[in-house]
Amino acid sequence: MGRFDPRIRVGAVLAAALGLALSACGPFMVEREGHRVFNPAYLPYLDSSLRDGWQEPEAVLDALDIADGGVAADIGAGGGYFAERLADRVGPEGLVYATDVQDEMIEALERRVSERGLDNVRVVRAGFADPTLPEGCCDLVFFSSVYKEIDDRVAYMKKVVPLLRPGARVAILEFRPGARGLGTPPADRLAPEQVTRELDAAGFDLVATHDFLPREYILVFALASASDPPPNEDAM
Q: Are 163 and 138 in contact (CB under 8 A)?
A: yes
* Mean pLDDT taken over the chain: 85
Provide the domain count of the chain. Answer: 1
pLDDT at 126 over 50: yes
Place 11 in a pLDDT band, splitting at 50, 70 and 90: very low
**pLDDT tens by residue, 158-205:** 999 999 999 999 999 999 999 887 778 888 899 999 999 999 999 999
What is the number of alpha carbons within 13 Å of residue 83 lying toward its C-beta? Answer: 33
Q: Mean per-residue pLDDT for 200-217?
A: 97
Say how far apart CA 101 and CA 181 lie, in whole Å.
26
Place 228 in a pLDDT band, splitting at 50, 70 and 90: low
Can you give the pLDDT at residue 217? 98
Establish if 20 belongs to a structural domain: no
Establish if 6 belongs to a structural domain: no
Give the 3-state secondary structure of the chain. Answer: CCCCCHHHHHHHHHHHHHHHHHHCCCCCEEEECCEEEECHHHHHHHCCHHHHHHHCHHHHHHHHCCCCCCEEEEECCCCCHHHHHHHHHHCCCCEEEEEECCHHHHHHHHHHHHHCCCCCEEEEECECCECCCCCCCEEEEEEECCHHHCCCHHHHHHHHHHHEEEEEEEEEEEECCCCCCCCCCHHHCCCHHHHHHHHHHCCEEEEEEECCCCCEEEEEEEEHHHHCCCCCHHHC
Establish if 227 belongs to a structural domain: yes
Establish if 99 belongs to a structural domain: yes
Establish if 42 belongs to a structural domain: no
Say how far apart CA 11 and CA 4 lie, in whole Å.
13
The CATH number assigned to the domain holding 55 equals 3.40.50.150
Amino acid code (one letter) for 231? P
Establish if 32 belongs to a structural domain: no
**pLDDT tens by residue, 20-55:** 444 445 776 667 777 677 777 788 877 888 889 889
Domain range enclosing 185:
50-235
> How distant is the alpha carbon of residue 50 from its chain centre?
17
Establish if 30 belongs to a structural domain: no
Establish if 115 belongs to a structural domain: yes
Can you give the pLDDT at residue 2? 43
